Amino acid sequence: MHWAHRVSERFSDGQLYVNLRGYDPGQPMPAAEALAGFLRALGVTGQHIPVDVAERSARYRSLLAGKRMLVLLDNAGDVEQVRLLLPGTPTCAVVVTSRDSLAGLVARDGARRSDLDMLSQAEAVALLRTLIGPRVDADPAAADELAARCARLPLALRVAAELAIARASASLAELASELADGRRLDLLDAGGDERTELRAVVSWSYRNLDVKAARAFRLIGLHPGPDVAPRAVAILLGSTMEQAGGLLAELARAHLVQPTDPGRYGMHDLLREYARELGVNSDTAEERQAALSRVFDYYLSNATAASDVLYPAGRRWRLGVGRGRPGPSGAQAFTPATARTWLDAELANFIATVAHAAAHGWPRHAIDLAATLYRARVDPDIGPPTRRPVRQRSTPPPRGPSRIARPIVIATIAVVCAVASGQPDPDA
């Protein structure tokens, strides 16, 4: 839209604008209604506007023939909303904005797609500076944190800035801390304005998904790591790789997941929080637990297989799959090269999975995957988990999943993170 304003002087016959309401609290605007508005703007009186939508489109194109006009089609929901609004003359230009990729316009109508990414961290802080003022420069660390908590999304940043202005006595650090406690969507409710509240705005994209894609969105939101590969998504959903790939493509077109590295997809924290909320209301606890158990089994099975390929001498100490837990479907066959590549690509997911499993009732997964991760990244000759024993207390703590798993997990993650970042092993 900013570009359209900057180049308006190139279009001497003016501009036409319509909000197609494709992602909006109300119903999307039919092409017939948009055409009627354009025809009125072009001087056609009510009684002369054709009733038939095809006739309206033909009249609209005739009126634009030879003119230099810029047509702005904002917030389109799908290709069919747009096609009848395209001029038939090369002297006009059309700008279409949408949350959907509108691939059909590119393939059939010659459109050129420009994907807009999230703001950079510097751009996000600059927007906060514009909206809030000197308080941003007075506490740059808090401003950075606030931008990150808003996932660098312009709407979230604007709502957070309004909160900061309304709470003039509170520091930016206090606001950033509030946004860190899992209540971001509640705090960024914009006073209940359905066109501005983050939860409502995201819901406009979610409600356009079919049932399978909606379920995929909810379950991907449960995944504890920063990104996922299609194979892991297939395991999470209990689907085939082909089905998972199609659902990921649909979610990416709706901008509910974002491609990260080639063949991997991520979800920013605000979307993840929303997906988990939806999951609590739409999926049973048993369904959510089963989905996570499947993907945890997958990570453990394949991490063990990859470690066995790289360090075959350590197979005698295999701790997870070899103790009676069958490997899941989706187990991969590795060569030394693919084993190392896969372990490196999944390292952040392993660490997040181990921490999540330890804290939420999967102690065996936490311990076994932590030990496998230690063997793969630190010590290929590791035996049973006594090499770096957790110090014993004279009075044992209460036995329970989290109390058993956490000491082993915390120690292992600390060592693995140190090695992965190039820092020396603290016990070396």
Average pLDDT over residues 53-57: 95
Residue-level pLDDT at 42: 95
Most confident of 22-31, 64-73, 188-197: 64-73
Question: What is residue 179's DSSP assignment?
Answer: T
| CATH of the structural domain 209-282, one choice from 3.40.50.10490, 3.10.420.10, 2.60.40.420, 1.10.10.10 | 1.10.10.10
* pLDDT tens-place string over residues 270-316: 899 899 999 999 999 999 999 999 999 999 999 988 988 888 876 65
Q: In the predicted model, what is the mean pLDDT of the chain?
A: 83
H-state helical runs in 316-400? 336-345, 347-359, 363-377
Residue-level pLDDT at 225: 92
Q: Which of 38-42, 238-242, 310-314, 331-335 has the lowest mean pLDDT?
A: 310-314
* pLDDT tens-place string over residues 214-248: 999 999 999 999 999 999 999 999 999 999 999 99
H-state helical runs in 188-268? 198-206, 211-222, 230-237, 241-253
H-state helical runs in 238-284? 241-253, 269-282
Residue-level pLDDT at 83: 94
Question: Would you say 25 and 194 are in contact if contact means Cβ atoms under 8 Å apart?
Answer: yes
- Nearest CA-CA partner of 38 in 21, 53, 22: 53
pLDDT of 322 > 60? The answer is no
Question: What is residue 27's DSSP assignment?
Answer: P
CA 365 to CA 320: how far, in whole Å? 8
- Nearest CA-CA partner of 264 in 302, 231, 222, 228: 228
Domain extents for the chain?
Answer: 2-109, 121-200, 209-282, 301-420
Rounded to the nearest 5 degrees, what angle is found at the Cα of 251, between the Cα atoms of 250 and 256? Answer: 155
- Integer angstrom CA distances of residue 260 from 66, 229, 244, 273: 43, 10, 17, 19
CA 40 to CA 370: how far, in whole Å? 67
In the chain, the largest separation of any two C-alpha atoms, in whole Å, equals 92
Looking up tokens 């006739």, which residue turns up? 55
| CATH of the structural domain 2-109, one choice from 3.40.50.720, 3.30.70.580, 3.30.1300.10, 3.40.50.300 | 3.40.50.300
pLDDT of 415 > 60? The answer is no
Question: Would you say 361 and 401 are in contact if contact means Cβ atoms under 8 Å apart?
Answer: yes
Q: Give 406's contacts (C-beta < 8 A, 6+ positions apart).
A: 358, 359
Q: How confident is the model at residue 203 (pLDDT cuts 50, 70, 90)?
A: confident
Give the pair of three-digit tokens for residue 226: 């920063």
Rounded to the nearest 5 degrees, what angle is found at the Cα of 30, between the Cα atoms of 29 and 34? Answer: 75
- Nearest CA-CA partner of 15 in 45, 41, 49: 41
